[in-house]
Amino acid sequence: MKRKLISVMLITAVTVVMAAGCGKNSGNSENSDSGSNSGGSSQEASGEGGGGTFVVPINTNSVASLTPYNVYGADDLLMASAPCFDPLYVVTKDETRWYLAESLEPTSDDGCHYEMKIRDDLTWHDGEKITADDVVYTVNVLLDKANTSDSSESVTYNGKTISAEAVDELTVAITLQEPFSAFESEFGRIQIFPEHVFDGNTTIKDDIENLNKSIGSGPFKLKEYNEGDSIVYERYDDYYRGKPSLDQVVIKLMPDQSAQEAALQNGEISMMRVTNQTKLEKYSSDDNYTVYNIPEARLNYLTFNYQSPLMKDMDARKAICLALNVDDIVTGAYGSEELAIPAKNFCSPQNLYFNDEMEGYKQDIEEAKKLAKKSGLTERPLHYIYFTARPNMKETAQIVQEQLKEIGVTVELEGLDGGEFFPHLFAAWITGETTEDTSWDLATNGMDQLNSDPATKMTSWRGELVQNGFYVSPETNELWDKASQALTEEDRETYYKELQVQMNEDYSLFPMANTNYVIVARKEFKGLDEILRVPIFEDYLKITME
């Protein structure tokens, strides 16, 4: 009996090993047919214009919805939906790149009325024509509070919602309640949804089936979604800007960095992000990879909790700003200018109206010592919090701790996960009311500014609620209003540049680093250097495989 049992076990084991071998073979053979597999190194160019499969890892274990109705500020979800859903257009400092839309014109002098025209040759992935009704429908979905979507912020400016109305099949009239300088940037980035798929219902949060059909407008259409593993997109042949070169784009759900690195080296993914100097040097010197460096339009900053009694004192904030050496922070925490450059003010150089004449804070230890003593900074330890999952934050915190020691200020560091960190940092903004929170004094965080108007994501720095967390002087608030509601380019430029100076004079934050999005890609992929937008990638037509 036992002998039989052992025999059965041995046969099973042998079968497993043989099957494993078969699996490997079958995987390779199918890959060479389709030009796609989990191993990029064995990918063969095929099909029209090169073919191949481009595999992009994202740092999350799950994607709640394949239709991007709730992706505002979520880089991973934006990356997951980008191959399938095109934006209307993209405004950057240097140009406007048109996608689904072909024009946006003001129709009045008050800055509150616009007309946008979309292209006439657009189709959804199910073949239905894309019309102005779809744009209006999408705006209404984003405005529908029942969807509890962060993306409502792309159609709400200064707390005031916009409205949209179809003028004809291809024209949409948009009305703002008040002028807002970031409207053009924000509105263009919206990825629209098909009205017919959701039968015109704007509350789509619970319509999981249709959300995950992912009927989009981009160069790739959904082929399959493997829960918790990958989203596979295949080329959409009727794409309005021509056929993509790649056969497939795969979004791989892979939050573990070491897993990403092993997968890249094994050819199972095509690229990954690099955030430290050691890895940058390693891949830069390896001929199998190409390193791309994209200015991220992000500001990493040190902020002060305005509810902390000590931080209300401008002398205390000034002492800290003068004690810190931003060059040493960037060199120590990031490693080189390829990964980040010292920041000068709250804008990044990729922002519209960036004030490039400003030099940032200059270290002055003696003055900082005097101010620290005067303001009482030296009398108790400061509590400094940072978000552990964000790259370079821990290293930054440690350097700040060392530099403040030089002026006699003791700093206690505490790394927190997102669920704990953000409710501290944005307490008033999140809860909509003043929240007593004196548990921290200093914090470092990062802010994505999307290459465009300073007000795009800076609205959280103004208004009464913000004053409960960060310091915003009356002068700053006034300049925010003037700049964001200015009607001419000249006025906007003047006010935004003044605002940058004013915020530095307020010592309302310490600008630390403007980071670069550095990616390492397997050398067979080309065209990644043309992707001048973060989060990557805006235009998959430019990516090819050789």
Partner 1 sequence: MGKYILKRFLQLIPVVILVSIFSFLIIEAAPGDPVDNYVRAGMTKEEIEGIKKEYGLDGNIVEKYGRWLVHVFQGDLGTSIKQNRPVAELIGERLPNTLMLMGSALFLSLIISIPLGLWAGLRKNKLADNVISFISYLGISVPPFWMAMIMVIIFSLKLQLFPSGGMRTLNVYTAGDLIWHMVLPAFVLSLNNMAVFTRYIRSNTITQLEEDYVLTAISKGTGKRKVLSRHVLKNCLLPIITLAGINIAGLVCGSFVIETIFSWPGIGRLAMEAVGNRDFPLIMGYTMFSCIILILGNLLADVLYAVADPRIRQGMDRDNG
Whether residue 385 contacts residue 421, with contact meaning beta carbons closer than 8 Å, is answered with yes
User: Least distance to partner 1 from the beta carbon of 59, Å?
Assistant: 10
* By the rule CB under 8 A, 305 interacts with partner 1: no
User: Least distance to partner 1 from the beta carbon of 496, Å?
Assistant: 22
* By the rule CB under 8 A, 27 interacts with partner 1: yes
Of the candidates 311, 436, 329, 328, the residue with the CA atom closest to the CA atom of residue 383 = 311
Q: CA-CA distance, 69 to 12, in Å (whole number)?
A: 48
Whether residue 382 contacts residue 324, with contact meaning beta carbons closer than 8 Å, is answered with no
- Count of residues touching partner 1 (by CB under 8 A): 76
CB neighbours of residue 102 within 10 Å: 14
* By the rule CB under 8 A, 81 interacts with partner 1: no
* By the rule CB under 8 A, 417 interacts with partner 1: yes
The DSSP secondary structure of 458-507, one letter per residue, reads HGGGSSHHHHTTS---HHHHHHHHHHHH-SSHHHHHHHHHHHHHHHHHTT
Judged by CB under 8 A, the residue of 34, 175, 210, 494 near partner 1 is: 34
Using the rule CB under 8 A, give the single segment among 162-170, 202-210, 449-457, 474-482 that binds partner 1: 202-210
Judged by CB under 8 A, the residue of 173, 423, 477, 487 near partner 1 is: 423
Touching partner 1, residues 58-77 (CB under 8 A): 60-62, 64-65
Q: Which is nearer to partner 1, 77 or 347 (CB)?
A: 77
* By the rule CB under 8 A, 477 interacts with partner 1: no
Q: Which is nearer to partner 1, 132 or 142 (CB)?
A: 142
Touching partner 1, residues 378-397 (CB under 8 A): 389
Q: CA-CA distance, 425 to 427, in Å (whole number)?
A: 6
* By the rule CB under 8 A, 53 interacts with partner 1: yes
Judged by CB under 8 A, the residue of 107, 203, 288, 431 near partner 1 is: 431
Q: CA-CA distance, 300 to 512, in Å (whole number)?
A: 6
The DSSP secondary structure of 105-163, one letter per residue, reads EE-SSSS-EEEEEE-SS-B-TTSPBP-HHHHHHHHHHHH-GGG--GGGGGGEETTEE-E
Q: CA-CA distance, 55 to 79, in Å (whole number)?
A: 12
Judged by CB under 8 A, the residue of 44, 102, 133, 153 near partner 1 is: 153
Touching partner 1, residues 254-283 (CB under 8 A): 254-256, 258-259, 262-263, 265-266, 268
Judged by CB under 8 A, the residue of 2, 95, 105, 488 near partner 1 is: 2
Judged by CB under 8 A, the residue of 157, 429, 461, 496 near partner 1 is: 429
Q: CA-CA distance, 116 to 172, in Å (whole number)?
A: 5
* By the rule CB under 8 A, 49 interacts with partner 1: no
Binding track, positions 325-354, relative to partner 1; x by CB under 8 A: ------------------------------
282 alpha carbon, distance to own chain's centre:
26
Using the rule CB under 8 A, give the single segment among 136-144, 229-237, 478-486, 500-508 that binds partner 1: 229-237
Touching partner 1, residues 133-152 (CB under 8 A): 145, 148-150, 152
First to last CA, the chain: 59
Q: Which is nearer to partner 1, 296 or 524 (CB)?
A: 524
Touching partner 1, residues 484-523 (CB under 8 A): none
Q: CA-CA distance, 251 to 248, in Å (whole number)?
A: 10
- Side chain identity at residue 364, one-letter code: D
Q: Provide the pairing of β-strand 230-235 with 101-106.
A: unpaired
Judged by CB under 8 A, the residue of 185, 230, 305, 514 near partner 1 is: 230
In order of 75, 343, 497, the CA distances from 355 in angstroms are: 27, 11, 5
Judged by CB under 8 A, the residue of 418, 489, 523, 530 near partner 1 is: 418
Helices (H) and strands (E) counted in the chain, each on its own, are: 17, 21
Judged by CB under 8 A, the residue of 166, 167, 413, 430 near partner 1 is: 430
* By the rule CB under 8 A, 253 interacts with partner 1: yes
Q: Which is nearer to partner 1, 379 or 412 (CB)?
A: 412
* By the rule CB under 8 A, 205 interacts with partner 1: yes
Q: CA-CA distance, 375 to 410, in Å (whole number)?
A: 14
Of the candidates 359, 362, 381, the residue with the CA atom closest to the CA atom of residue 322 = 362
Q: Which is nearer to partner 1, 54 or 292 (CB)?
A: 54
Using the rule CB under 8 A, give the single segment among 56-64, 76-84, 117-125, 133-141 that binds partner 1: 56-64
Give the Cα-Cα-Cα angle 3, 7, 9 (nearest 5 degrees).
Answer: 120
